[in-house]
């Protein structure tokens, strides 16, 4: 009998960027994530499988990301991107040869080898089908794929349960389309949860407080078995956010928020993230299991102060050589400015990876053994991360994941388990309630709702009212032109929590504001076209051209069902 269980949860997400810019903001985000994270991760997972090890990790692929990875236009653009990266490395190599920089020549050659390997995996190993490669791993029992809200909408602040359901239901249906089965688990965007209570809009002018269903009730209705939350929602205490070390602008925002912040009160009965509970905010009705982030192990990776990715030997994320944008420097120290970064030495990396992986595995083991010795029953360590941390932010991350999983698989006391398998092993029956919150700084909603982003929520709540009216006015009229479906697509894209996040972090603020405004303008014009169409049953040439442009530019979720929004 195992004395404990372990699983990584890797949440993969990008907003819809196809046909919405390329560089520095747009499609190249998807190209970078695929080249640096998704394919290296697939390679690492398949290497483990080839060695007889089933990794049993949980992979969250958001529906909007899955749609993009499956899009033919992305596949063509990605091949062009890889060719450009190979050419950039070759140009660097020639310049280094001229300058007789022997070590830099080797680094440029490594980049050529890296991108050629990614190209080979994409074309030959995965047949240009990233989604299919993940699906195959799930179908063979190596991993579990979970879904998310359709466009990563921030569910606790959406103003009507109908539209929370639409985000979730569209995500579930999209999962079935791509993976051929129903999802058992879901990643709530930003691990953001809201229980049942009499909810009030955070802005005035949108009506009186109203009874809202707990998010878990909506998940239960869609046959979702589990979701993931941050430790402070379960155990209480001060939340430890996951973003501030990566986005300096958050520190400015946090300083003003922290003055009025109170820690989450401790639950009356102590709880532990090393158990699985059932969550219900409706007097025990419609409970759903919850997996909770283990703080101790997660901080070893997330922390900017002492996390593994900050090791001075690893490749630096920020310093790049232009025009090719390739990286040739190591972190050096976490506080080194760009001018003081030292040259990267790949030969120094393997030993540090081995040491970091062994340390993490040891921490998992000690946590599980402590729990077992105290309770005489197995516990679980759940380690959730943004997938893009591994490879994109932390170049060596996929190799570290491989080493950790391989090491833990060889420990007779620890069993690697997917979410569904863990729930089957634990068969949880204890029903609890948890408070509202997220895994962002402060543990609440302030990254997504603050003085910088209030205007977006004003527009979103107005759009909700317009969406309701458009559907009510349309009644049973056939949507033969696809007007209502496109209105729903623009509505979902408008709800993406990415826009508020990018505004708050200043990482791509202008782009986010432009994208939000663009989808809002498209939504409003489609709404006006629908109202006019209902009066005279015709579309003008100008309106037809506009609709066709929307359908071409924002073409995700072809299976969208307008009834899910009514």
Binding positions for substrate are: 293, 310, 439, 498
Annotated binding site: 293, 310, 439, 498
Measured distance CA(471)–CA(564) in Å, rounded:
11
Residues written for the chain: 566
Give the CA dihedral 359, 361, 364, 370, nearest 10 degrees.
Answer: -80
Task: Determine whether 128 is an active site residue.
Answer: no
| 47 class by beta-carbon count within 10 Å (0-12 exposed, 13-18 middle, 19+ buried) | middle
Task: Determine whether 190 is an active site residue.
Answer: yes
Measured distance CA(40)–CA(397) in Å, rounded:
9
CA 269 to mean position of chain CA atoms: 32
Phi-psi region of 236 (alpha: psi -120 to 50; beta: other; left: phi over 0): left
Element at 139 (helix H, strand E): helix 130-139
CA 122 to mean position of chain CA atoms: 22
Q: What angle do CA 225, 9, 130 make, to 5 degrees?
A: 100
Q: Are 214 and 195 in contact (CB under 8 A)?
A: yes
**In terms of Cα–Cα distance, which of 457, 467, 482 is closest to 566?**
467
**In terms of Cα–Cα distance, which of 293, 149, 148, 302 is closest to 233?**
293
Q: Which residue has the tokens 């407080």?
A: 209
Measured distance CA(130)–CA(517) in Å, rounded:
31
Tokens matching residue 310: 């900050």
| 283 class by beta-carbon count within 10 Å (0-12 exposed, 13-18 middle, 19+ buried) | exposed
Local structure of 466: helix, strand or coil = helix
Half-sphere exposure of 386 (CA within 13 A, CB side): 18
Q: Which residue has the tokens 């899910």?
A: 564
| 299 class by beta-carbon count within 10 Å (0-12 exposed, 13-18 middle, 19+ buried) | middle
Q: Are 157 and 445 in contact (CB under 8 A)?
A: yes
Q: Which residue has the tokens 């990794």?
A: 55
Measured distance CA(72)–CA(26) in Å, rounded:
16
Measured distance CA(33)–CA(380) in Å, rounded:
29
Could you say which of 92, 93, 190, 436 is catalytic? Answer: 190
**Cβ-proximal residues to 314 (8 Å cutoff; 6+ apart), any chain:** 330, 331, 349, 352, 394, 395, 396
Could you say which of 386, 396, 415, 490 is catalytic? Answer: 386
C-alpha distances (whole Å) from 197 to each of 210, 280, 345, 377 are 8, 12, 55, 35
**In terms of Cα–Cα distance, which of 138, 114, 173 is closest to 49?**
138
Half-sphere exposure of 413 (CA within 13 A, CB side): 16
Name the residues annotated as catalytic: 190, 386
């Amino acid at each position: 009998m195992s004395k404990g269980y372990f699983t990584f949860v890797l949440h993969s997400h990008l907003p819809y960027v196809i046909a919405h810019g390329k560089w520095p903001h747009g499609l190249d985000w998807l190209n970078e994530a695929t080249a640096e994270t998704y394919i290296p991760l697939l390679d690492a997972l398949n290497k483990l499988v080839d060695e007889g090890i089933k990794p049993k990790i949980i992979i969250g692929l958001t529906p909007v990301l899955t749609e993009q990875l499956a899009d033919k236009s992305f596949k063509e653009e990605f091949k062009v991107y890889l060719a450009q990266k190979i050419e950039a490395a070759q140009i660097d190599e020639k310049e280094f040869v001229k300058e007789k920089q022997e070590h830099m020549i080797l680094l440029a050659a490594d980049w050529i080898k890296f991108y050629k390997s990614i190209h080979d995996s994409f074309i030959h190993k995965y047949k240009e089908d990233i989604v299919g490669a993940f699906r195959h791993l799930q179908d063979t029992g190596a991993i579990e794929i979970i879904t998310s809200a359709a466009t990563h909408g921030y569910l606790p602040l959406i103003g009507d349960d109908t539209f929370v359901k639409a985000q979730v239901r569209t995500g579930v249906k999209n999962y079935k389309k791509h993976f051929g089965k129903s999802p058992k688990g879901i990643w709530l965007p930003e691990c953001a949860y809201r229980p049942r209570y009499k909810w009030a809009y955070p802005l005035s002018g949108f009506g009186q407080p109203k009874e809202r269903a707990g998010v878990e009730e909506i998940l239960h209705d869609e046959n979702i078995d589990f979701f993931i939350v941050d430790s402070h929602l379960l155990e209480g205490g001060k939340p430890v956010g996951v973003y501030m070390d990566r986005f300096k602008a958050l520190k400015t925002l946090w300083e003003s928020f922290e003055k009025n912040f109170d820690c989450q009160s401790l639950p009356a009965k102590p709880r532990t993230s090393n158990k699985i509970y059932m969550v219900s905010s409706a007097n025990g009705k419609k409970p759903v299991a919850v997996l909770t982030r283990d703080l101790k192990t997660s901080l070893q990776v997330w922390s900017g102060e002492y996390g593994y990715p900050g090791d001075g030997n690893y490749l630096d994320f920020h310093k790049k050589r232009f025009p090719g944008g390739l990286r040739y420097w190591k972190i050096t120290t976490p506080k080194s400015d760009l001018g003081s970064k030292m040259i990267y030495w790949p030969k120094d990396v393997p030993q540090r990876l081995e040491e970091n992986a062994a340390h993490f595995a040891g921490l998992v083991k000690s946590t599980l053994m402590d729990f077992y010795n105290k309770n005489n029953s197995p516990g679980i360590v759940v380690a959730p991360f943004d997938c893009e941390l591994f490879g994109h932010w932390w170049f060596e991350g996929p190799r570290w994941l491989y080493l950790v999983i391989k090491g833990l698989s060889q420990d007779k006391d620890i069993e690697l388990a997917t979410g569904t398998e863990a729930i089957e092993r634990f068969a949880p029956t204890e029903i609890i309630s948890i408070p509202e919150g997220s895994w962002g700084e402060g543990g609440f909603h302030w990254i997504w709702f603050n003085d910088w982003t209030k205007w977006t929520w004003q527009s979103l709540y107005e759009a909700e009212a317009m969406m309701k009216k458009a559907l009510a006015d349309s009644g049973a009229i056939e949507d033969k032109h696809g007007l209502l479906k496109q209105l729903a697509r623009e509505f979902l894209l408008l709800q993406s929590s990415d826009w508020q996040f990018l505004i708050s972090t200043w990482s791509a603020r202008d782009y986010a504001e432009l994208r939000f405004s663009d989808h809002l303008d498209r939504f409003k014009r489609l709404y006006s076209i629908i109202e006019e169409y209902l009066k005279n049953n015709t579309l003008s040439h100008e309106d037809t051209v506009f609709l066709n442009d929307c359908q071409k530019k924002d073409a995700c979720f072809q299976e969208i069902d307008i009834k899910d929004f009514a």
